[in-house]
Each structure stands twice: as structure tokens, then as C-alpha cells.
Amino acid sequence: MTSGSSGGASKKIAAGICGILLGGFGVHKFVLGYSTEGVIMLLVGILGGVVTCDLLGL
């Protein structure tokens, strides 16, 4: 196995763990290098939380 494929595999594992733990915030997208998608997921997650808490009166 070359070091390039090993680095890619460890990046995928880290992204998977981040996706499970912090998936709603798009952290796994940043780990994989997808900055635009990560920002979109982060904004949707934050705005969704604000709207939900506002509707519930929290």
C-alpha cells in the first residue's frame, strides 16, 4: 500500500467519525475538503436549530 492511499483511508475514517458525531454541522465535509458543502450544511444546521427553538418557544 502506498502512503497516498493510506492517507486517503485515514481521512475517510476521520470523516466518518465526524459525520456520526457532528453530522448535522457538516464537519465531515470540511475534513474531506468540500468547503462549500460544509458551509452550506453548517448554515442549514444552525438556522434549522434557531427556527426550531423559536417555534418551540425556547
Is the pLDDT score of 3 beyond 80? Answer: no
pLDDT at 33: 93
pLDDT at 1: 44
pLDDT at 25: 87
Q: Are 17 and 37 contacting, i.e. CB atoms less than 8 angstroms apart?
A: no
- Please tell me the distance from the alpha carbon of residue 16 to that of residue 27, in angstroms, as a whole number: 10
pLDDT at 5: 60
- Chain centroid to CA 14: how far? 11
Q: What is the DSSP code string of 6-44?
A: HHHHHHHHHHHHHHHHHGGGTHHHHHHT-HHHHHHHHHH
Q: Which tens digit of pLDDT belongs to each residue from 12-56?
A: 999 999 999 988 889 999 999 999 999 999 999 899 888 888 877
pLDDT at 4: 54
